[in-house]
């Protein structure tokens, strides 16, 4: 709820604080955007785990202070996929797509979030072919990955490819159910093409699925 003063009073009264208590306090300050207090808690922590480090790295990436985020990232005794994804997302938010890609390529183990983040980054700067390359590398694709690539096509005036991928995800061998995000991109693609029939079909599909147009 953002009541950090109250949270801090409760926190200060806890005897025998464990790492979960410290991480909760740390995450609260990061979420409220108070990085000075977050850094103070982080520095005081008698024991830090990967969640503690990730909270601070994410806080600095959200503030677009990539220099400090990178300094912490380098010091981390242990990293997981969330650590790498925070750095990738931070560099993308700052418009430094090549640095983001270098972190993506260096990741020891990539997950779907890593691919979706990079695809969305390429989409924002119009590099559709680079996004396609990453999408093609994924063997197992989920709804979120399809949504990212369909949105990339729709946002970059590649409406036909967006609808082709929309159709592909519903084929029996793929069988991934579209959600509101998928349908929003598909409607955008229909609008670009002036394809009223496909647009009407999507509207009927939404009614069948009980999805309300917002």
Tell me: the pLDDT tens digits for 73-87? 999 999 999 999 999
CB 143 within 8 A of CB 177: yes
Q: What is the band of 139 on the pLDDT scale with cuts at 50, 70, 90?
A: confident
How far apart CA 61 and CA 59 sit, in angstroms, is 6
Residue 199 has pLDDT above 90, yes or no: no
CB 81 within 8 A of CB 113: yes
CB 162 within 8 A of CB 123: no
pLDDT tens readout for residues 17-48: 999 999 999 999 999 999 999 999 999 999 99
140: left (phi over 0), alpha (psi -120 to 50) or beta: beta
For residue 34, give both structure tokens.
């108070």
Out of 77, 106, 129, pick the residue that ends a domain. Answer: 77
The two counts, helices (H) then strands (E), for the chain are 13, 0
Within a domain: 98? no
Nearest to 103 by CA among 119, 120, 90, 122: 90
How far apart CA 139 and CA 148 sit, in angstroms, is 15
In degrees, to the nearest 5, what angle opens at C-alpha 104 toward C-alphas 157 and 89? 65
Within a domain: 122? no
> Which one is predicted more confidently, 170 or 56?
56
Could you tell me the residue range of the domain that residue 15 belongs to?
1-77
Within a domain: 133? no
Out of 44, 61, 77, pick the residue that ends a domain. Answer: 77
User: Taking the model in full, what pTM does it have?
Assistant: 0.89
The torsion angles phi and psi of 143, rounded to 5 degrees, stand at -60, -40
Domain count across the chain: 2
Mean pLDDT of 45-56: 96
> Which one is predicted more confidently, 195 or 102?
102
Proportion of the chain above pLDDT 90, given as a percent: 85
């Amino acid at each position: 709820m953002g009541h950090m003063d109250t949270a801090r009073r409760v926190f200060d009264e806890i005897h025998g604080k464990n790492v979960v208590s410290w991480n909760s306090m740390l995450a609260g300050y990061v979420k409220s955007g108070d990085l000075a207090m977050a850094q103070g808690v982080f520095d005081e922590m008698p024991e830090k785990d990967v969640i503690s480090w990730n909270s601070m790295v994410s806080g600095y990436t959200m503030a677009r202070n990539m220099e400090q985020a990178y300094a912490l990232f380098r010091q981390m005794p242990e990293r997981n996929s969330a650590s790498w994804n925070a750095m990738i997302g931070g560099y993308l938010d700052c418009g430094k797509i090549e640095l983001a890609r270098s972190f993506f390529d260096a990741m020891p183990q990539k997950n779907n979030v890593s691919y979706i983040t990079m695809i969305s980054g390429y989409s924002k700067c119009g590099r559709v072919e680079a996004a396609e390359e990453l999408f093609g590398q994924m063997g197992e694709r989920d709804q979120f990955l399809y949504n990212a690539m369909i949105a990339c096509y729709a946002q970059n005036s590649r409406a036909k490819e967006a609808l082709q991928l929309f159709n592909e995800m519903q084929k029996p061998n793929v069988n991934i159910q579209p959600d509101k995000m998928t349908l929003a991109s598909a409607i955008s693609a229909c609008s670009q093409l002036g394809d009223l029939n496909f647009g009407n079909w999507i509207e009927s599909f939404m009614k069948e699925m009980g999805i309300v147009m917002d």
